[in-house]
């Protein structure tokens, strides 16, 4: 079998990018973080003043959506970083605030249609591991291998809290848990492409397994599917 596309979906902060990056590294595939694209759109809208605590100026965002150019580059340490109109925004898009803004702009149909179009173009030649919320259901419904990752909200919040602390981002565990729960609620209940497990996805609850064990599980599944 030639190269395939791999879809990794699941709840916020459950380890999707960790497992997707690991698979891409092992297989020599391209990793694409679709959540970073929604985060970049949110950052663009924040900077323009189109997102407040209570509202989004969706008319303005829609009118200017074609001005948003999102790309990825690999840095000298081999890490993929997100660029918004040529500017490296990797650090800025990882805050809880931008994560929350991303989950708000991602509910807008015109935003989803534009990003899904770009994501499908990236997967045309196969050999892509993409993580997100709608990869197995909407972006690559024909992906040969689909993973649906879960973990308890408390485990996810603790992991994200430790990660942000380590990066010098002074968040509290309580705020991190609230962010995870709020995004889960919005992502699963929105009208446009809500987070769902694709019927042909394989589910993994990684609450009590290590990063190494989950990658081994994914590689075993990949080998079974492609043999």
Ligand X SMILES: Nc1ccn([C@@H]2O[C@H](COP(=O)(O)O)[C@@H](O)[C@H]2O)c(=O)n1
Binding positions for ligand X, rule: CB under 6 A:
12, 34-35, 38-39, 99, 102-103, 106, 132-135, 183, 187
Among residues 6, 15, 70, 84, which is the contact residue for ligand ATP, using CB under 6 A? 15
Q: Among all chains, which residue has been given the structure tokens 């996805």? A: 201
d(CA 178, CA 175): 5
Residues 208-227 that bind ligand ATP (CB under 6 A): 209-211, 214
CB of 202 to ligand X, least distance (A): 18
* Residue 127 near residue 30, CB atoms below 8 Å: yes
- Report how far residue 159's alpha carbon sits from residue 182's, in angstroms, rounded to the nearest whole number: 17
Binds 34, which of ligand X, ligand ATP, none (CB < 5 to 8 A, cut-off by type)? Answer: ligand X
Radius of gyration of the chain (CA): 17
Q: Which two tokens stand for residue 215?
A: 């990658």
Nearest to 20 by CA among 11, 33, 39, 4: 33
Among ligand ATP, ligand X, none, residue 211 binds (CB under 5-8 Å by kind):
ligand ATP
Q: Which of ligand X, ligand ATP, none interacts with 206 (beta carbon under 5 to 8 A by kind)? A: ligand ATP
Site string for ligand ATP, 127-166 (x = CB under 6 A): ----x---------------------------xx--x---
Q: By rule CB under 6 A, what count of residues binds ligand ATP?
A: 17
Cβ neighbours for 150, distance < 8 A, ≥ 6 positions apart: 10, 11, 14, 203, 204, 205, 206, 207
Query: Which residue, 169 or 216, is less far from ligand X as judged by CB?
Result: 169
**Position among 16, 112, 146, 190 found at the interface with ligand ATP (CB under 6 A):** 16
> Applying CB under 6 A, which part among 15-23, 49-57, 113-121, 137-145 lies near ligand ATP?
15-23
| Alpha-carbon gap, residue 196 to 188, rounded angstroms | 7
**69's torsion region: left (phi>0), alpha (psi -120 to 50) or beta?**
beta
- Residue 104 CA to residue 50 CA, distance in Å, equals 12
Residues 51-90, mask of contacts with ligand ATP (x by CB under 6 A): ----------------------------------------
Residues of this chain that bind ligand ATP (CB under 6 A): 12-18, 35, 131, 159-160, 163, 206, 209-211, 214
């Amino acid at each position: 079998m030639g190269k395939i596309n791999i879809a990794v979906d699941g709840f916020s902060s459950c380890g999707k990018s960790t497992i997707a990056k690991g698979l891409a590294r092992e297989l020599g595939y391209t990793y694409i973080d679709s959540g970073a694209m929604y985060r970049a759109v949110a950052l663009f809208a924040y900077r323009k003043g189109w997102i407040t605590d209570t509202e989004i100026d969706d008319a303005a965002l829609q009118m200017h959506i074609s001005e948003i150019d999102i790309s990825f580059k690999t840095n000298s340490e081999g890490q993929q970083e997100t660029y918004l109109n040529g500017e490296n925004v990797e650090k800025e898009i990882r805050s809880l605030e931008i994560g929350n803004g991303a989950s708000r702009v991602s509910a807008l149909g015109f935003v989803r249609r534009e990003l899904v179009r770009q994501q499908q173009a990236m997967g045309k030649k196969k050999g892509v591991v993409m993580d997100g919320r709608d990869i197995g259901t909407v972006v690559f419904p024909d992906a040969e291998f689909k993973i649906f990752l879960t973990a308890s909200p408390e485990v996810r919040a603790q992991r994200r809290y430790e990660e942000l602390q380590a990066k010098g981002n002074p968040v509290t565990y309580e705020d991190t848990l609230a962010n995870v729960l709020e995004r889960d609620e919005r992502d699963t209940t929105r009208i446009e492409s809500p987070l769902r497990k694709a019927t042909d996805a394989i589910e993994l609850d990684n609450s009590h397994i290590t990063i190494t064990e989950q990658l081994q599980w994914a590689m075993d599944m990949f080998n079974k599917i492609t043999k």
